[in-house]
Structures are given as structure tokens and as C-alpha cells.
Structure 1
Amino acid sequence: MLRANLWVEKGLVNDLIGTVLCIIYCANQGPPALPAFVVCIFPNYTGPTFLPEHPNSFPVIPIKCTWTSGHAPLSRTGIPLDLAWGLTIHKSQGLTMAKAVIDIGQHEMTAGIKFVALSSSKHQ
């Protein structure tokens, strides 16, 4: 799942779900170093493809976030991707998914949460 608005006009928006194709590191590096970029396939992406043999592929590069806590400036650099093979109902709110397996449990912790879960997939 993409965690940043990278190219809104071409469909690369926060919460977009895609598939990681490969992880590329700089020469002579590997884990635990940060990758140079991660090639992902995003079905809704409409821009130029990164790898011709993989339509809708796009390289996601590290981005630096900065903020202030008290009077101390802080920053971190990371790849704006999250695992999305398992989502909470709250994280899926607002998404439209082609398929979903939903475990709604025995009771509702919050009124309406089952409706949110069930309305996030396409009805056919």
C-alpha cells in the first residue's frame, strides 16, 4: 500500500494498493540498508511504465519527512510503502477492493463497523 501522494494526476495516491515486483539496492549494498527504490505495479497508475515488460510499473524511491518535536528538528527517510495483505477495518475505510475476506467476529466494538467492512468491496 502506497503511503504518500506521489503523482496524484497519474493515480499514485495515498492508500493505493499494488504489488512489489522487485527491490533494488545501490551497488555493494543490501539489507539492512535502505533500498535505492522498490519497483511496484499499481493497476490504477496511468503514467509511463518503468519496465516495458511490466505495464503499470513504477519505482518508489525513499522520501525524507521532517518535523519538529518541542524545539528539536527531527527527520526520517523511508520507502512510503506498507504491507497490505491484512488490513484493519479502519485502514480499509474509504477503499474499494475487488475482493475481501472479512472476519467480522461475534460482536461489534463500534456501531457500524461491520457495515464499513462489508461496504468496502465491489458488489457484483
Structure 2
Amino acid sequence: MGLVNGLIGTVLRIIYCANQGPPALPAFVVCMFPDYTGPTFPPKHPNSFPVIPIKCTWTAGHATLSCTGIPDDLAWGLTIHKSQGLTMTKAVIDIGHHEMTAGISFVALSSLKHQ
């Protein structure tokens, strides 16, 4: 349905249980993924999907440990490798003092639409 690891989406809403808010864990987070083709929630937002908390449990020695969290990673930036193949309308590109790999600057700049 278009949901794969590494997918880039947009957070639309963070929904908490009644009478709760931060720092409590949300009941779910509604995210919009452009390539998602499954049922949408809420119906007014096409390509939207609720991401629910997941509980992971593991054993360390004689103790059983667990952690519950939303399986999303916030990204305020992308590597040039992650942006390869994307088409962006604007970007801030920090190449640094020199290219780490020949041609990597071209990859970053060629992702931008011309206006």
C-alpha cells in the first residue's frame, strides 16, 4: 500500500486520549504519505494513515524490559543520498569546504525544480 521503511511523510495531527496531553504518549499520530494507497483516516485527508504506538519487549539477563513508542523518526534534514530521486522546489544545501565524493554536489543540485 506504499508504506515502507524510510518513507517521507508529513505529520497532520497528534491525537491524545481524553484528559491527556504531553508528556503522555499519544494514542496515535496521523501522517500523510504521498504514495500511500490504502484506506485513509481521517477521510478528508487523502493518503493519510494513523501511526499507533508499538510496544517492544526484550530480555536482558534476568530482567524483562519494554519500551513503547511511536515508530516515526522526525527528520529536519536529509542526506544527499536520501534526497536522490526526489524532486524538491527549494532546499538549503551545505556542501562544506569540499566534496566528500566526486559529483555529490551535482546530485544535490539536480534534485531541484527550475522555476
Structure 1 116/67 Cα, relative in aligned 2: closer, same or farther at 3 Å? farther
Conserved 8 A contact 1:23-1:38 = yes
How many residues align? The count is 111
Conserved 8 A contact 1:66-1:73 = yes
User: Among 15, 27, 40, which residue is 1:24 paired with?
Assistant: 15
Map 1:66-105 to 2 at 5 A: 66-69=57-60, 71=61, 72-89=63-80, 92=82, 96-99=85-88, 101=91, 102-105=93-96
* Deviation of 1:53 (Å): 1.1
Q: Where does structure 1 lack aligned partners over 5 or more consecutive residues?
A: 1-9
User: Among 33, 39, 48, which residue is 1:57 paired with?
Assistant: 48
Which structure has the bigger radius of gyration?
Answer: 2
- TM superposition score normalised by structure 2: 0.77
Moved over 4 A (4+): none
Conserved 8 A contact 2:30-2:50 = yes
- TM superposition score normalised by structure 1: 0.72
Output the CA distance in 1 between the equivalents of 2:110 and 2:66. 34
Output the CA distance in 2 between the equivalents of 1:82 and 1:34. 15
Task: Provide the aligned C-alpha RMSD in A.
Answer: 2.8
Output the CA distance in 1 between the equivalents of 2:107 and 2:65. 36
1:12 aligns with 2:16: no
Q: Where does structure 2 lack aligned partners over 5 or more consecutive residues?
A: none
Give the letter for the 1:103 counterpart.
D
